[in-house]
């Protein structure tokens, strides 16, 4: 009887996931309804719920990649201290941001609330440790401000650089990180000629 929406090729898991990512990136997580995603795919809302346990499950699967890398980075940093931790944190986060900029962009600044959800609770703690590491051995207020501005700027901004290939964006962000992070005062007696040294 009702043949208007006949299924010729079944929708795949990944097809829906990609559509969700596209919508989330445009209208944010909260701002995207399951109806929107279904419309993008060309199926019913119920079909989306058939493939995924719920809206949260969609987001969780979308973020699984970057979250795994973030945890890995956290573990690597926790074994370090001082400038070593600072450098690894900055480089690691830049790498992560460049590689997963699509995923990060789709959160759009809804971090605070999304992180409040129990499913992402540990991310909150990791990003705090990341900022602490980026703050560096200096530990002063200026260093803390610099670390947070850098982290937020990269996280929030990297989604806007869709037109820049990875191999160009990464060094650009790394250069910014080197400039912005407060490194401890030059320890050896040395004329502070310029601001660009340290590997």
Partner DNA sequence: ACTTGCTCTGACCGATCGGTCAGTGTCTGA
Partner DNA sequence: TCAGACACTGACCGATCGGTCAGAGCAAGT
* CA pair distance 32, 106, nearest whole angstrom: 11
* CA pair distance 119, 67, nearest whole angstrom: 11
Binding of its own copies at residue 83 (CB under 8 A)?
A: no
Q: Which residues of 103-114 are buried (b: 16+ CB within 10 A; e: fewer)?
A: bbbbbbeebeeb
47 Cβ contact partners less than 8 Å away, ≥ 6 residues apart: 11, 16, 38, 41
Binding of DNA at residue 117 (CB under 7 A)?
A: no
Q: How far is the CB of 197 from its own copies (least distance, A)?
A: 10
Binding of DNA at residue 47 (CB under 7 A)?
A: yes
Binding of its own copies at residue 64 (CB under 8 A)?
A: no
Given 1, 79, 185, 193, the residue binding DNA (CB under 7 A): 1
Short-list 155, 192, 159, 191, CA closest to 176: 155
Find which of DNA, its own copies, none residue 109 binds, CB within 5 to 8 Å per kind: its own copies
Residue number with CB closer to its own copies (137 or 153)? 153
Sort residue 198 into left (φ over 0), alpha (ψ -120 to 50) or beta.
Answer: left
Q: How far is the CB of 111 from DNA (least distance, A)?
A: 18
Find which of its own copies, DNA, none residue 36 binds, CB within 5 to 8 Å per kind: DNA
CA 106 to chain centre: 9
Given 28, 44, 157, 183, the residue binding DNA (CB under 7 A): 44
Tokens of 3: 């043949």
Given 18, 28, 56, 124, the residue binding DNA (CB under 7 A): 56
* CA pair distance 69, 79, nearest whole angstrom: 16
Please, which of residues 98-157 interact with its own copies by CB under 8 A?
Answer: 108-113, 141-142, 145-146, 148-157
Given 51, 87, 101, 108, the residue binding DNA (CB under 7 A): 51
* Residues found near DNA in the complex (CB under 7 A): 1-7, 9-11, 32-36, 38, 43-47, 49-51, 54-56
């Amino acid at each position: 009887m009702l043949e208007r929406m006949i299924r010729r090729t079944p929708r795949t898991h990944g097809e829906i996931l990609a559509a969700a990512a596209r919508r989330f990136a445009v209208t944010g997580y909260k701002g995207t309804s399951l109806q929107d995603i279904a419309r993008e795919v060309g199926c019913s809302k119920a079909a989306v719920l058939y493939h995924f346990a719920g809206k949260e499950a969609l987001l969780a699967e979308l973020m699984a990649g970057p979250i795994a890398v973030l945890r890995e980075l956290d573990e690597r940093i926790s074994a370090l201290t001082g400038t070593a931790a600072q450098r690894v944190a900055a480089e690691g986060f830049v790498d992560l941001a460049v590689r997963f900029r699509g995923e990060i962009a789709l959160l759009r600044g809804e971090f605070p609330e999304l992180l409040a959800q129990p499913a992402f609770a540990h991310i909150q703690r990791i990003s705090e440790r990341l900022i602490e590491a980026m703050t560096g051995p200096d530990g002063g207020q200026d260093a803390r401000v610099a670390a947070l501005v850098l982290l937020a700027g990269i996280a929030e901004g990297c989604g806007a650089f869709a037109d820049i290939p990875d191999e160009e964006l990464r060094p650009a962000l790394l250069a910014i990180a080197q400039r912005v992070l407060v490194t401890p005062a030059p320890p050896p007696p040395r004329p502070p000629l310029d601001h660009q040294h340290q590997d």
